Amino acid sequence: MHIDILTVLPELLASPFEHSIMKRAQEKGLLTVQTHALRKWAVNEYGQIDDYQYGGGAGMVMMCEPLANAIEELSKERAYDDIIYLTPDGARLDQKMANSFSLKHNLLLICGHYKGIDERIRQQYVTKEVSIGDYVLSGGELAAAVLVDAIGRLLPGVLGDETSALTDSFQDHLLAPPVYTRPVDFRGHRVPDVLMSGDHKKIEDWRYEQSIQRTKERRPDLLD
Ligand code: SAM
C-alpha cells in the first residue's frame, strides 16, 4: 500500500512512521508513506497557502489553488482509491473503517490547518472525510498519523503473528480480554490459573467470557 500525505508541516510527520511496526511495514516493502510539503504548490514566492475567510471572522482558510494543484499533480503519478480529508466533522474513525481502508492500494491524505480547507476542495476532490474523535486538533497531521498506523498494522505480513490484529479490541465488536506475562505472582497478585493450564479450549473460552464481560462493563454500546 502507498500513502501520500499533503501537509504544511511535514516535519511533524517525520517520526511517527520511523519506529516499531510502521518502520517494519516499510522495511518489508508492505507500506510506503510519503509526505508532501503543500508549500511546494504555494501561490507566491512567500509560500502562501492560506488566506482570510470570506464573510470575515477569525482564522485563515487553506486556499483552493495550492491544494488543487498538489492533488492534480500527485494524481498523475498514481490513481488514488480515496482522497481523504482529516476533519473533525468527518465520519468517526473506527476499526471497521480501518479494516476497509487496509484493503486499498493508494491513498492520499490531506491535513488541514487554521480554520480548515476551502469547501470547494472538499466538494470537488475529497472522496472521504475522516475524524479521529469529537475534539479539535490544531492540524490534521496527528490525525493522519493515527489513521496510517491504524491501517498499516492491518496489512497482511506487517504484524509478526497474523492473528494478533484479529484478537484486538473492536474486531468482532468486543473489547480485548486482559493479558498477563511473567512473573506468575506479582506482589501477591496471581495470573489466573486457567492461563497456565495448557488447555487451549479452556483458555479460549475464558478469554471470550472476559471479552464479553469487559465489553458489557465498559462499552455496552458495542454489543448492540
Ligand atoms: N474549523 C474546524 C472545525 O471547527 O471543524 C477545525 C479546524 S482545526 C483547528 C484544523 C485542522 O485540524 C482541520 O482542518 C483538520 O485537518 C484537523 N483536525 C482537527 N481536529 C480533527 C479531528 N478530530 N479529526 C481529524 N482531523 C482533525
Output the pLDDT for position 167. 82
Output the pLDDT for position 198. 97
Q: How many whole angstroms from 195 Cα to the centroid of ligand 1? A: 44
Q: The domain 169-223: what is its CATH number?
A: 1.10.1270.20
Residue 201: CA count within 13 A, CB half-sphere: 0
Whether 113 is in the pocket of ligand 1, judged by its Cβ within 6 Å, is: yes
Q: How many whole angstroms from 64 Cα to the centroid of ligand 1? A: 17
Question: Ligand 1 pocket: which of 86, 146, 147 to mutate (most atoms <8 Å of CB)?
Answer: 86
Q: Where in the chain is the domain with CATH 1.10.1270.20?
A: 169-223
C-alpha cell at 29: 516493502
Output the pLDDT for position 24. 94
Asked if CATH classification 3.40.1280.10 holds for the domain at 2-152, the reply, yes or no, is yes
Contact in structure between 12 and 4 (CB atoms under 8 Å): no
Distances (CA, A) of 126 to 85, 183, 204: 6, 51, 43
Output the pLDDT for position 160. 80
Closest CA to 112 of 158, 40, 41, 61: 61
Output the pLDDT for position 172. 87
Whether 140 is in the pocket of ligand 1, judged by its Cβ within 6 Å, is: yes
Whose C-alpha lies nearest to ligand 1, atom 27? 87
Output the pLDDT for position 165. 81
**Mean pLDDT of residues grouped by 10 in the chain (224 residues)?**
98 95 95 98 98 97 98 98 98 97 98 97 98 98 98 93 81 93 98 98 98 97 92
Q: What is the DSSP letter of 133?
A: S
Closest CA to 210 of 165, 180, 186: 180
- Closest ligand 1 atom number to CA of residue 136: 20
Q: Where in the chain is the domain with CATH 3.40.1280.10?
A: 2-152
